[in-house]
Amino acid sequence: MRKTIALAATLAVAPLSAWAEGKTHHVALHVDQNDPHVLNMALNNAKNLTQYYAEQGDEVVIEMVTYGPGLHMLIEGKTPVKDRIETLSLELPITFSACGNTIANIEKKTGAPVTLLEEAQVVPSGAARLVELQEEGYSYLRP
């Protein structure tokens, strides 16, 4: 009899748990190297996290912050991962942030404007952006 009552209680509550919303995870990915292996690993991390949390019934919000040599990931004509960024930006809940300080330093050194991929957004400082994201509760990853 106890098993029947327990089963009935479980079945009564089961539909409610199906309606429960999953958790939303926030992840800041830090890219500061111009190494194709590292750039691909960062993109793999984003894709794998999204898949993992989807399987758990959760969501993930990712911001990939690039600065220093890592900015090359988002520079038109210099990035070895342009096609992957274009594809993943359509598939994943991801934002690509480019450091304004690094852009200014490159432009000052080369005398030419830096053209970013259209998926990129400029933030004033990549390092400061990572601090802000962590202060907002984002988990920090560096591939």
1-46 pLDDT, tens digit each: 444 444 444 445 444 444 457 999 999 999 999 999 999 999 999 9
Q: Are 99 and 76 in contact (CB under 8 A)?
A: no
- The pTM (predicted TM-score) of the whole model is 0.84
- The mean pLDDT of 75-85, rounded to a whole number, is 98
The overall average pLDDT reported for the chain is: 90
Q: Which two tokens stand for residue 8?
A: 């009935």
Q: Which pLDDT does position 21 carry in this prediction? A: 73
Does 139 or 3 have the greater pLDDT score? Answer: 139
Q: Which pLDDT does position 9 carry in this prediction? A: 45
Does 4 or 66 have the greater pLDDT score? Answer: 66
Model confidence at 98: pLDDT above 70: yes
